[in-house]
């Protein structure tokens, strides 16, 4: 704590009894004597009012109880970067070190980056100028410090964790970064900073930066674009929990970006995504917990590929409000999509048959190889597409579909709802009348068969006891076995041995037939080969 007040105190971040806040007022508060700091707290429960005292408003808070007054000697305005580094790594004459010295890694988004621990520094490096990774998270860093001191003291820094400190402005970040010529990874999360309102002059401060985390910093997308003029090599950008609701089209910035995390923001309007759809290198986009209900690529119709997000291979929309199959149809327009995570959406409602929902998504997105982190094997895809063709075959006939290609004229409405259906007919043949019987919903109320699953060519594989519905198709059994036995993408061959006819095998050769078709009974054995 310090009793002195910095000349630029208004706008500075402070720490008081473990609580973080921003100074919005410095001065007297009559009728009391002396100087007070008016603080807006990050945790509004720490405050008492909105900046008003006895009818006079000294500052404004976003929350009605987010502010309070404290004496200057209660506020910690922080330390400079090098002072924090020396204290953190026990190189300031304090051989006892600090509690944080035992930490072994720093986390940026979903990735963990190993950092040099205290013991190895004391034993092998000894000097600050040999450090590559520096972590001073929660060390009350607020300033770059004396000019050029970082450059002189730490010559080889490549990765810095500055999360949850007292940095108040992007200007101070530049003052640090411009002294770290080889900086590749920078974590600034949980620093409530003021960002520039106009374009920044050319600078080499971030010329080698590949990974930047700005989670919970209060940054807007417009401010990101203003700062991004200096991020010429940036590949990963983390912007979670910033209340971002509006996007803008990047112009000549973020052209190298491969990974963008916009989770836990307020991008409820899915059309906003079209504004970032021209990012040429973007491969992974994380949009979890935004309240998104729709996604649309209006530049092309169904059955064609959009020019938007040309490199996107992995899309995450967990925890949103997606409830319509039309959204999944739109995703099939993406040129490169291979991995899709969509858990905790109404479409994946656990009250429904989860396996059927996964099959429908697999059938609707033709290039998908992973769904909710589970690999889609070729046999699973084939089964999903065959089941889709059978499930909606009656609707297809009612809409004008026909087994005779010359008479096949399904309605535009049907094709919009099932844009890949005709492709399945071309691939597997039009569904025959015998396939179009309405299936009963998969339910545990159906007759369950107690079966033993064996792998006769794999003697080390123990038999597995499993109860399966007699209405379960052979294709669905194969899908279950891929996951159950962790079998790589090989073609499965199934047969069964009756408990009443030991030693005789019957091949299960039709993926579309249910177990009951083969007269499989309780205590029979399914034999698996690949």
Average pLDDT over residues 25-30: 96
Higher-pLDDT residue of 319, 488? 319
Q: What is the pLDDT of residue 483?
A: 83
- The answer to which of 39-43, 312-316, 318-322, 447-451 has the lowest mean pLDDT is 447-451
pLDDT (tens digit, 9 = 90+) per residue, 304-318? 999 999 999 999 999
Q: How far apart are CA 400 and CA 396, in angstroms?
A: 7
Average pLDDT over residues 358-381: 94
* Cα dist from 482 to 367, 375, 378, whole Å: 19, 10, 11
* DSSP β-bridge partners for residue 37: 26, 70
Would you place residue 431 in the very low, low, confident or very high pLDDT band (cuts 50, 70, 90)? confident
Q: Are 302 and 279 in contact (CB under 8 A)?
A: no
Q: What is the pLDDT of residue 109?
A: 61
Q: How far apart are CA 363 and CA 166, in angstroms?
A: 50
How does the average pLDDT of the chain come out, rounded? Answer: 88
Would you place residue 3 in the very low, low, confident or very high pLDDT band (cuts 50, 70, 90)? low
3-state secondary structure of 134: strand
Strand-pair category, 36-41 with 67-70: antiparallel
Using CB atoms within 10 Å of the CB of residue 487, give its burial: 0 to 12 exposed, 13 to 18 middle, 19+ buried. Answer: middle
Nearest to 375 by CA among 474, 529, 489, 528: 489
Q: What is the pLDDT of residue 389?
A: 92
* Tally of CA atoms within 13 A in the half-sphere of 279 that contains its CB: 27
Average pLDDT over residues 429-444: 62
Higher-pLDDT residue of 497, 240? 240
Q: How far apart are CA 384 and CA 389, in angstroms?
A: 9
Res. 519: pLDDT tops 80 = no
Most confident of 98-107, 265-274, 444-453: 265-274
Res. 101: pLDDT tops 70 = no
Omega of the bond prior to 31 within 30 degrees of 0, cis? yes
* DSSP β-bridge partners for residue 464: 453
What does the radius of gyration of the chain's CA atoms come to, in whole angstroms? Answer: 30
Mind spelling out the 3-state secondary structure of 82-115? HHHHHHHCCCCCCCCCCHHHHCCEEEECCEEEEC
Q: What is the pLDDT of residue 94?
A: 45
Q: What is the pLDDT of residue 95?
A: 43
Q: What is the pLDDT of residue 18?
A: 94
pLDDT (tens digit, 9 = 90+) per residue, 116-157? 454 554 443 456 778 899 999 999 999 999 999 999 888 889
Would you place residue 38 in the very low, low, confident or very high pLDDT band (cuts 50, 70, 90)? very high
Angle at 337 between CA 335 and CA 339, to 5 degrees: 175
Average pLDDT over residues 340-360: 84
- The answer to which of 124-133, 463-472, 515-524 has the lowest mean pLDDT is 124-133
203-220 burial code (b ≥16 CB/10 A, e <16): eebbeebbbbbbbbbbbb
Average pLDDT over residues 416-444: 77
Q: State which H helix or E strand residue 170 sits in.
A: helix 170-177
> DSSP strand E in 232-362: where?
236-238, 259-261, 284-286, 314-316, 339-341
The residues near 488 (Cβ < 8 Å, ≥ 6 apart) are: none
Nearest to 337 by CA among 367, 364, 362: 367
- The answer to which of 99-103, 203-207, 361-365 has the lowest mean pLDDT is 99-103
Would you place residue 436 in the very low, low, confident or very high pLDDT band (cuts 50, 70, 90)? low
Higher-pLDDT residue of 108, 143? 143
pLDDT (tens digit, 9 = 90+) per residue, 245-262? 999 999 999 999 999 999
DSSP state of 517: G
* Cα dist from 437 to 333, 355, 390, 475, 529, whole Å: 31, 20, 8, 17, 31
Q: What is the pLDDT of residue 337?
A: 98
Nearest to 64 by CA among 50, 47, 45, 48: 50
Backbone angles phi and psi of 76, in degrees to 5 = -100, 110
pLDDT (tens digit, 9 = 90+) per residue, 384-397? 999 899 899 999 99
> DSSP strand E in 229-302: where?
236-238, 259-261, 284-286
Q: Are 320 and 350 in contact (CB under 8 A)?
A: no
Nearest to 141 by CA among 187, 106, 99: 187
Would you place residue 459 in the very low, low, confident or very high pLDDT band (cuts 50, 70, 90)? confident
Nearest to 317 by CA among 307, 297, 331, 329: 331
Average pLDDT over residues 35-45: 95
Q: What is the pLDDT of residue 352?
A: 60
- The answer to which of 171-185, 390-404, 516-530 has the lowest mean pLDDT is 516-530
Higher-pLDDT residue of 520, 17? 17
User: What proportion of the chain, given as a percentage, has pLDDT over 70?
Assistant: 89
pLDDT (tens digit, 9 = 90+) per residue, 213-237? 999 999 999 999 999 999 999 999 9
The residues near 10 (Cβ < 8 Å, ≥ 6 apart) are: 23, 24, 25, 26
């Amino acid at each position: 704590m310090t009793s002195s007040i910095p000349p630029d105190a208004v706008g500075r971040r402070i720490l008081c009894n473990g609580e973080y806040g921003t100074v919005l007022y410095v001065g007297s508060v009559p009728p009391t004597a002396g100087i007070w700091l008016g603080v807006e707290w990050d945790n509004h429960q720490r405050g008492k009012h909105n900046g008003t005292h006895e009818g006079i408003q000294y500052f404004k808070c976003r929350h009605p109880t987010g502010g309070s007054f404290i004496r200057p000697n209660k506020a910690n305005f922080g330390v400079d970067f090098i002072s924090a580094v020396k204290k953190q790594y026990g190189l300031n004459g304090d051989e006892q070190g600090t509690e944080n010295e035992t930490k072994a890694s720093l986390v940026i988004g979903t990735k963990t980056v190993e950092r040099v621990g205290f013991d190895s520094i004391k034993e092998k490096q000894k000097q600050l100028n040999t450090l590559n990774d520096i972590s001073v998270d929660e060390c009350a860093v607020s300033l770059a410090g004396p000019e050029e001191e970082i450059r002189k003291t730490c010559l080889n820094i490549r990765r810095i964790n500055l999360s949850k400190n007292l940095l108040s402005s992007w200007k101070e970040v530049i003052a640090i970064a411009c002294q770290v010529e080889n900086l590749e990874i920078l974590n600034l999360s949980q620093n409530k900073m003021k960002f520039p309102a106009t374009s920044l002059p050319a600078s080499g401060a971030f010329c080698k930066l590949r990974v930047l985390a700005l989670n919970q910093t209060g940054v807007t997308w417009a401010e990101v674009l203003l700062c991004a003029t200096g991020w010429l090599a940036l590949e990963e950008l983390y912007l979670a929990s910033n209340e971002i609701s509006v996007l803008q089209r990047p112009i000549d910035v973020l052209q190298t970006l491969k990974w963008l995390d916009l989770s836990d923001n307020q991008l409820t309007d899915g059309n906003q995504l079209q504004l970032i759809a021209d990012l040429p290198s973007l491969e992974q986009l994380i949009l979890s917990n935004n309240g998104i209900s729709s996604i649309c690529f209006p530049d092309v119709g169904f059955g064609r590929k959009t020019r938007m997000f040309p490199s996107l291979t992995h899309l995450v929309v967990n925890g949103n409000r997606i409830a319509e199959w039309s959204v999944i149809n739109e995703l099939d327009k993406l040129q490169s999509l291979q991995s899709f995570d969509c858990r905790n959406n109404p479409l994946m409602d656990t009250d429904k048959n989860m396996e059927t929902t996964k099959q429908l998504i697999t059938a609707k997105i033709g290039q998908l190889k992973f769904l909710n982190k589970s690999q889609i094997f070729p046999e699973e895809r084939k089964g999903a597409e065959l089941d889709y063709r059978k499930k909606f075959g009656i609707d297809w006939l009612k809409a004008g579909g026909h087994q005779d290609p010359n008479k096949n004229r399904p309605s535009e409405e049907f094709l919009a709802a099932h844009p890949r259906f005709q492709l399945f007919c071309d691939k597997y043949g039009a569904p025959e009348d015998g396939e179009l019987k309405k299936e009963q919903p998969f339910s545990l109320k159906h007759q369950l068969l107690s079966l033993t699953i064996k792998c006769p060519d794999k003697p080390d594989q123990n038999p597995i006891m499993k109860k399966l519905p007699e209405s379960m198709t052979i294709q669905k059994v194969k899908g279950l076995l891929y996951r159950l036995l962790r079998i790589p993408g090989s073609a499965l061959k199934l047969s069964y041995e009756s408990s009443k006819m030991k030693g005789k095998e019957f091949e299960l050769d039709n993926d579309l037939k249910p177990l009951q078709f083969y007269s499989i009974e309780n205590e029979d054995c399914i034999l698996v080969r690949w």
